[in-house]
Amino acid sequence: MKYFFIVLLSFFSALSIHAQKKPAYKLFNEKGKSKSYKKLLKEAGKVDIILFGEHHNNPISHWLQLEFTNDMAKKIKLVLGFEMLEQDNQDEINAYIEGKINQKKLDTVARLWRNYKTDYKPLVDFAKEKNISVCASNIPRRYAKKVFKYGFKTLDSLTENEKKWVAPLPIPYDSKLPGYVAMTKMQHMNHMSKKMKENMPKAQAIKDATMANGILECKKEGHLFIHFNGSYHSDDHEGIMWYLKKYNPSLKTLTITTVSVNNVKKFDAQNLGKADFIIQVDKDMTTTY
């Protein structure tokens, strides 16, 4: 029997060593220096707002978001914000968090992403369990689509009630920000008209501005605000972060991004400065959709 347990212990030790040789992700700072998860938690406790950039279909992103939120909730009061939830659905989200409606009802009254149940519901349910406020920060997508087709001017036709779900107009806008410039050069944009190419980054900007404004409206004194968004909305301290700094330069902020690489253990130099903390994920990681 003693020999059996020795063999068993050796087997699990070998598994553990193998797992360490093939990690699913690794964490770095903006300078490409390897950092521990413990260091991330420590730095996160020093700021007002965190933008957690994800790949929408990456399970490592979603798992780390839930683990990170759970660990931070043990240290400080939280508010959670989501790109994936639109501002005109805030009442429905509140009703769910408060237990007034169930998930089946939420499915019918709110516009939820197709991967909501696998990737975002665990976070929302955690907030519900812990009595944490959830902020639907994004612009209703129909308004962003209008901007893509017709530009910012189309928002002037919104009613006063509809404008409550959009950042104050006119929004600041810098078409020369690298992220917006890069957007107009994407391969799939080639078939678009010149006007549509000009409007694409504007549609992105109205989302970024509205999410930044939503974060500031939902933020609570003495609470850490964690916002979950696609990494492209906060990479290189642009997007949402650019608007947060415009609206309130005194904020203490931190950004996290997710990148897919061939070798998670070796920092990819092209990601230097992309965020304060960079999660390198194996590019062969299976996706949620």
Which of 201, 232, 180 has the alpha carbon at shortest distance from 53?
A: 232
The total of other beta-carbon atoms located within 10 Å of residue 30's CB is 17
Angle at 272 between CA 65 and CA 246, to 5 degrees: 70
CA dihedral sign, ordered 262, 53, 229, 207: negative
Q: Label residue 163 exposed, middle or buried (CB < 10 Å: 0-12, 13-18, 19+).
A: middle
Tell me what pLDDT residue 4 has.
Answer: 36
Tell me what pLDDT residue 196 has.
Answer: 79
C-alpha count within 13 angstroms, C-beta hemisphere, residue 117: 5
Q: What is the DSSP letter of 119?
A: I
Distance CA 90, CA 110 (A): 9
- Please name the residues in contact with 24: beta carbons below 8 A apart, sequence gap of 6 or more: 60, 264, 281, 282, 285
* pLDDT per 10-residue tile (average), the chain, 289 residues: 43 45 92 98 98 97 98 98 98 98 98 97 98 98 97 97 98 96 77 83 98 98 98 98 97 98 96 98 94
Helix (H, G, I), strand (E, B) or coil at 145: helix
Tell me what pLDDT residue 159 has.
Answer: 97
Tell me what pLDDT residue 271 has.
Answer: 97
Tell me what pLDDT residue 64 has.
Answer: 98
Tell me what pLDDT residue 189 has.
Answer: 64
Residue 172 · residue 209 · CB < 8 Å: yes
The pTM score is 0.91
Residue 168 · residue 258 · CB < 8 Å: no
25-282 has which CATH code?
3.40.50.11550
Residue 60 to residues 55, 57, 225, 236: CA-CA distances in angstroms? 9, 9, 21, 21
Distance CA 129, CA 123 (A): 10
Q: Label residue 152 exposed, middle or buried (CB < 10 Å: 0-12, 13-18, 19+).
A: middle
- Helix, strand, coil % in the chain, rounded to nearest 5: 50, 15, 30
Phi, psi for 16 (deg, rounded to 5)? -65, -45
